Amino acid sequence: MISAFFIFNQKGEVSRLPFASLTSDIATQSSPVPLPLSSRRRSIADVFRIQVVSNSDVRSPIITLGSTSFFHVRVNNLYVVAVTKCNANAALVFEFCYRFISIAKSYFGKVDEEAIKNNFVLIYELIDEINDFGYPQNSEADTLKTYITTESVMSTNIAPEESSRITVQATGATSWRRGDVKYKKNEAFVDVVETVNLSMSAKGTTLRADVDGHIMMRAYLTGTPECKFGLNDKLVIDKNDRGASDAVELDDCRFHQCVRLTEFDTDRTISFIPPDGEFELMRYRSTSNVKLPLKVIPSVTEVGTTQVQYVVTVKTNFNNKLSATNVVVRIPTPLNTTTVDCKVISGKAKYVPAENVVVWKLQRIQGGQEVTLSATAALTSTTNRQVWARPPIDVDFQVLMFTASGLIVRFLKVFEKSGYQSIKWVRYLTKASGSYQIRTSYPHPLAMTITELATLELVHPYTWDTPSIRAFFARLATEQAACSGHQLFFFRRAQSERKIFLVSGWASLEAHREWIAGDKNQELLRMADALLTVAGLVHMDIDFGAMPGDTKRIAWFAVGGNKTDEGAGIVWNRTRNVPSDGVEARARWDWAGEGKSLDEGGTLNCCIRAYTQGDTDRLTVAGV
């Protein structure tokens, strides 16, 4: 249930923007009883402005203060905010916010501060219509337009027949489309848009690759047409029923409500009556058989302490009839870089000191082509001995008429009782923006001086599947990795709902102590007080930086020592070469690290083995 809904501008002003109190359960901390609307407006607005708008460090779209949760979405320098005091479904609340934005666009075009103020009364009517006492109701723009006019006047003189028709339409199978739509030219546009997410090692090994895709459709069709939409013949949806090596495998799909799912399950044909105008027909993910459009081959060499030399080659992996456009390669440089001398044959490259990156821009790269950048970064002397962590290279691009998942539209047919001919267009677009990363090298052993191992116990009734727990660990991973320069791994045993094992790295114990004393860690600790307890913590001198990024399972066992402890998820065994979690010692492992405990003065030795595959479920990675 949504308790309140309001819109902020980027200055944190809400007085001249819509504020709707949907229930009476919002009160200030000092007043346990419901307050008048003006007081509630001021109280809630002040809290959100202080905690979110005025706080540049807030990255999460959800913030919970006491028993009140704020969900916000940014659009054109506006905050669209929903407030709830109950344990609401977060996906439903965000869907409500995005539906409101979509409805607003359909009524008055661009959603900005001026448009919101000019349509103040209309927005209140819409909010009142699309929810009932905080529960989302009808949110189809076409249906709303039949009885909420753009002049913000609701007709009170609707004929009985018209009223009956509206009621049927609002509750019937085609509430998303009016029956009186007419166009001189009947057209249907289909856009298959895919975003590629990649993490690749410096040796060219794919650590993680997946595709987030969605199919957008713009239907400008007369009447109430029936559309049929066919996808690949070799299309596998069920994870447990893998197809051929060239099959398109989708991990999950989500369809618009107009789609008849029974026909899709039978023959992979999407049959539907489309809404008028633009809508999202389908959303999907794919993690198998991903075709990478670009291959980046980096070479980064540190010449003493005064220079870093770069040779970065970008190759295309698609037909020479296609091309990648708007290619931007961001190559990180050390913090003490003074100047960078760049040499390129294609595109333009320059050093951006404010971001500590070399930005290489190419307008177009043809299929089958490769381009190379050479650069030398000059470094200034520094007293900071911390080794450069070498952040990954980031690539943005767009490729038309190419899909990384291999998904294709076999046909699109339109049937309408009048028998008119329609024009159909299909376009494919594969892109990456901030999610296509290539590591420049394995971290130097000195950059991974300390491995931190911790055992965390979740407080009842929380489990790993609790949304607030996932959100907390996601923030912890982001904040700590930004400070340490090393990824956090979370592992858990299938039989234990509340025990989480954390593995991370630090450049030094001093760096870890600085993080412990820092403001961000203190804030996270305050959040963690009500969520978990630290059951064990140990620091080892293991070079964890070389552990594969796609580690799925991990085994621990003792090499020596005189203490039995379950600190950091390790049951310290006396028997050599026997993993404590039951994984057979003969199983193939992908990485092993040995070291001594710095906390125990070197009296406790430990070995870690990492597995990227295998059928054991003793200690399994838990992704956030």
Give the HSE-up count for residue 153: Cα atoms under 13 Å, Cβ half-sphere. Answer: 5
Q: Would you place residue 19 in the very low, low, confident or very high pLDDT band (cuts 50, 70, 90)?
A: low
pLDDT at 553: 72
pTM here is: 0.54
Q: Which whole number is the average pLDDT over 452-457?
A: 82
Q: Would you place residue 131 in the very low, low, confident or very high pLDDT band (cuts 50, 70, 90)?
A: confident
CA angle 611, 617, 618 (to 5 degrees): 85
Q: Which whole number is the average pLDDT over 584-612?
A: 62
pLDDT at 222: 94
Domains of the chain in start order, with CATH, are 4-171 (3.30.450.60), 187-291+403-437 (2.60.40.1170), 294-401 (2.60.40.1170), 445-621 (3.30.70.100)
pLDDT at 549: 64
Beta-sheet strands, E only, within 382-522: 393-400, 409-415, 423-432, 436-438, 450-458, 489-492, 499-506
Q: Is 60 exceeded by the pLDDT of residue 558?
A: no
How many Å separate Cα 229 from the centre of its chain? Answer: 28
pLDDT at 573: 35
Q: Would you place residue 443 in the very low, low, confident or very high pLDDT band (cuts 50, 70, 90)?
A: very low
Q: Which whole number is the average pLDDT over 258-264?
A: 82
Token code pair at residue 188:
């249907």
- Work out the percent of the chain whose per-residue pLDDT is above 70: 73
Q: Is 70 exceeded by the pLDDT of residue 31?
A: no
> Which amino acid type is present at position 411?
F
Q: Which whole number is the average pLDDT over 319-334?
A: 95
> Which amino acid type is present at position 436?
Y
Q: Would you place residue 401 in the very low, low, confident or very high pLDDT band (cuts 50, 70, 90)?
A: very high
Residue with tokens 């991973």: 477
Q: Which whole number is the average pLDDT over 315-319?
A: 94
Q: Which whole number is the average pLDDT over 436-444?
A: 72
- Work out the percent of the chain whose per-residue pLDDT is above 90: 27
Q: Which whole number is the average pLDDT over 300-322?
A: 90
Q: Is 80 exceeded by the pLDDT of residue 211?
A: yes
Q: Would you place residue 196 in the very low, low, confident or very high pLDDT band (cuts 50, 70, 90)?
A: very high
Burial class (CB in 10 A: 0-12, 13-18, 19+), 281: buried
Identify the weakest region by mean pLDDT among 208-222, 364-378, 469-483: 469-483
Q: Rounded mean pLDDT of the chain?
A: 77
pLDDT tens sequence across 231-248: 887 777 755 555 555 678
Read off the DSSP letter of residue 67: T
Of 274, 288, 279, 292, nearest to 215 by C-alpha is: 279
**Residue 154 three-state SS:** coil
Instruction: Please indicate whether residue 234 or residue 435 has the higher confidence score (pLDDT).
Output: 435
pLDDT tens sequence across 105-126: 888 878 888 888 888 888 888 8
pLDDT at 229: 86
pLDDT at 26: 58
pLDDT tens sequence across 37-77: 444 445 677 777 777 777 766 678 888 887 888 898 988 88
Please provide the DSSP assignment of 216-244 as one string: EEEEE-SSS-EEEEEE-SSEE--TTS---
Token code pair at residue 332:
């990180």
